[in-house]
Amino acid sequence: ALAQLVGGKHNVLLLDEPTNNLDPGSRTAVADSLSNWGGTLIVVSHDAEFVEALDPDRALLMPEGTVDHWHDSFLELVTLA
């Protein structure tokens, strides 16, 4: 299903925990496919390595239910944690 979405004519993907229950090789393959996709990704994930591999332009964090926007490097954000 993910391959059909990535290969289709869609410009927004909404993914909720896309790496749950995937082995490391599959997680890498999904990250590679999505990072080469030209549309907008909205990803909900607790997998920091996966999000880092996507190299997002922006991150929306919701610690304790409050909204916090992050516009710098995701790696810099992870370093602060």
Q: Is 22 exposed, middle or buried (0-12, 13-18, 19+ CB in 10 A)?
A: middle
Give the per-residue pLDDT at 16. Answer: 94
Give the per-residue pLDDT at 18. Answer: 94
pLDDT averaged over consecutive 10-residue blocks of the chain (81 residues)?
67 90 95 87 86 81 64 56 50
User: Where does 2-80 sit in CATH, by number?
Assistant: 3.40.50.300
Give the per-residue pLDDT at 79. Answer: 53
The CA distance from 41 to 15, in Å, is: 8
Give the per-residue pLDDT at 30. Answer: 94
Give the per-residue pLDDT at 65. Answer: 66
Give the per-residue pLDDT at 71. Answer: 56
The CA distance from 59 to 29, in Å, is: 22
Give the per-residue pLDDT at 21. Answer: 94
